[in-house]
Amino acid sequence: MIKVDLISPMRCSKCRRPAILFQRYSGLHLCQEHFFADLEAKAKRDIRVRRWIRPNDTVAVALSGGKDSTALLHFLHSLLFRRRDVQLLAITVDEGIEGYRDPCDARRIAEGLGVPHVTVSFREHYGTTIDGIVARKGDTLSCSYCGVLRRHLLNVTAREEHATRLALGFNLDDEAQSVLMNVLRGDCGRLLRASGPREGMVPRIKPFLHVPEREVALYSYLKTGRIDTSRCPYSHNALRAGVRRILNAYAWDHPGTRHALVNLGEELSELGAAREGAVHTCERCGEPCGDVCRSCQILSEVGDGM
């Protein structure tokens, strides 16, 4: 009889228990406990070094109900719920896309953690929806329109709720894709845009800035027992979709690529801080903007007023 040795499961590099994740960029296998510790340490380090959360802050989390924002809310709740000097709330934006994410799901996530929740909608604030814009203009630029209007509404709502920080669920992949997109577009202005606070803008924080998307997704699943990885039905036209495919393919052979792109983006942003132009206030909507208020420009293009 031939004896066959079964291959043992991968073991955690730190404690030798069965691993649930292999980090190609670090070479580490991690069990659930050390995976949680590793991810949370990255997020806490950025919060500490960048002084993203301070005493007496009110942190508003942009909660879509997707994997990234859900993971972020769970992380910040576990980090802050014992602190009486920091308040946490969640803001959900309903863009008006039929069949794509019910805002009630986000509300249930927030209420399950005891976090105050606010829902705002494109229809109420702008008098139109993304579906309405697509019906008029087609879906070629739908992602660009949606991104600008969503950021605008998040800032307005966070300020109205007296938030001092707006937490976004952007992860390492998102940031690396953004840098590469700006390179491919030759958009020097965005590459050199300073990331510091601007008058009228609620300061944004991104605790998962150095955490890969797949790790955020795993964290979300392990914390909640569910995961929403659905994509917007209009996202097929986005430049980001193509850049994601390019970057994923390249990073498979070069695992440190995403980290390198994010570091490049931060270095260029620091260089650009010295040449940052003045911030204007839009005469129409009263929000801070550059030379042109892109939100009002979009609403004019699609034929709707504020």
Predicted pLDDT of residue 4: 42
Predicted pLDDT of residue 273: 63
Predicted pLDDT of residue 195: 72
Q: Sign of the CA dihedral 261, 213, 153, 57?
A: negative
211-226 pLDDT, tens digit each: 999 999 999 999 999 8
**Across the strands, what pairs with 22?**
29
Predicted pLDDT of residue 22: 95
Predicted pLDDT of residue 276: 58
Dist CA 143 CA 239 (whole Å): 9
Measured between alpha carbons, how far is residue 115 from residues 91, 213, 214, 215 in Å?
A: 10, 24, 26, 24
Q: Tell the residue number behind the tokens 């992602």, with chain if given.
A: 143
187-217 pLDDT, tens digit each: 888 888 877 667 789 999 999 999 999 999 9
**Across the strands, what pairs with 280?**
289
Predicted pLDDT of residue 189: 84
Predicted pLDDT of residue 274: 59
* Pairing relationship of beta strands 58-62 and 280-281 according to DSSP bridges: unpaired
Whether the CB-CB separation of 4 and 201 falls below 8 Å is answered with: no
> Under 8 Å CB-to-CB from 72, ≥6 apart: which residues?
61, 167, 168, 169, 207, 208
Pick out the chain residues at pLDDT < 70. Answer: 1-8, 196-197, 273-279, 291, 304-306
Dist CA 80 CA 87 (whole Å): 8
Listed residue (297, 273, 302, 277) closest to 287, CA to CA:
297
Predicted pLDDT of residue 123: 95
Predicted pLDDT of residue 5: 44
Whether the CB-CB separation of 234 and 130 falls below 8 Å is answered with: yes
Predicted pLDDT of residue 278: 59
Say yes or no: domain 50-279 is CATH 3.40.50.620. Answer: yes
Domain boundaries, the chain: 8-46, 50-279
Predicted pLDDT of residue 214: 95
Cα-based angle 223, 85, 203 (whole degrees, multiple of 5): 75
Predicted pLDDT of residue 1: 43
Listed residue (212, 204, 203, 205) closest to 171, CA to CA:
212
Predicted pLDDT of residue 286: 80
Dist CA 53 CA 41 (whole Å): 15
301's tokens = 């293009």
